[in-house]
Structure 1
Amino acid sequence: MNTIKSVCVYCGAASGSDSVYLETAIELGRLFARENIRLVYGGGGVGLMGAAARACAEAGGRVTGIIPDFLIGKEQAFEHAHELIVTKDMHERKRLMFERADAFIALPGGIGTLEELVEQLTWVQLNRHTKPVMVLNIAGFWDPLLTLFDHMQATGFVNVARPIRMLVAHNVRAVLPKLNTALDAVHDRDPHGDAAEKVLDRM
């Protein structure tokens, strides 16, 4: 059985309007610490990203923050990360986040979170990698995006033979079982990593 050893978390530099978003970020950070999974994230100390990283670090977990130099002040670079990497630009940041993660999870967030999520989904669809990509759909936050994906397919802009390959979890308890199952499925189909998960899992 394959196991997830590190997860890149994309999420907002704000806390959002519903306290459940912050509570979920904290719960996820603690889960990673408990399961000895490294949290890889954008390096900020504010919003959901800061909450998840702080919760993980305070519970004894390992945290890698990756932040471009121009955001150190704006996003208040997290001081308690086990490892803080400062990059020269966003491109280097995203490359390092990709390289250091076994999987990707998007919590609620803004345009930057959406951009990072969609980039990973695009790379999977183009068979550039087979790492699991998930949204944590807390309080239905990602429902409009899921509806948009359905609309794209219904109108012929997403080929049914190459569907959007994304996992959906509705609570933190479902995160690791879904990620590990997806990782096993990819490995079973193609031990060399040339295939990608082809099911939009909304359970």
Structure 2
Amino acid sequence: MEPIENLGHQIVLLAIDSASGALRKSSKLGSTVATAVLAELVLQERVRRVPPTRVTPSRKIQVRDSRPTDEPMVDAMLADLTGRPDRDPRLIIKEPRDTYRDLAIQELLSNGWLALVSSSRLSVNRYRLPDDDRVNVARRLALQGFNDPKGSPTRAAYLAGMASVTGLDSEIAPDLRFFGRRKARSELIDRFWLLDELQARFSANTAVLVTAPASRQFGGLAPDKR
């Protein structure tokens, strides 16, 4: 069976620096790919978000259809959610850390859509795209979402939103300029609750860093006040 390309694969392809081969925004990419996989389950109507109640004031994710999708990475999350029902979407995005990012990279390598150039414990891995076709398809799809945040197809809008929240938007939509991209991001987040959850995840991380004691922010040493 021909491997299926999904949003998780596409956001990783968009994160590959075309010059250096390194992954851009690597600290955010784990949560972004987890969001992309969850978005695939939403798009395929395998899961749904349950409204809050008095008993459970936060919204939860419930599995509607646990049958395999024939997409290994998507099925991995589906199996996890099936085993742990009524999960908070924020935890689904946060807990896996880099699990789904690494799965996406492994699938891209296995399918021949990405090639590993160098790997070292002392430096970042570097990759090469065997051809530009797949990344160009992903760029065009995301650009469609940036150009029409409210009316573009759902898949295009999801990809654009994830790229924007992760900080990959300036290369994909340079003609929109800064304020145009900012406006598109706001409209995409308003359109999809899942993008709002991802934005909240990154905002929480920033808040923790800003409010952390100086000794934590500077690797255990307080900054020199001189």
Q: TM-score, normalised by structure 1?
A: 0.31
- Which entry has the higher C-alpha Rg, 1 or 2? 2
Higher helix share: 2
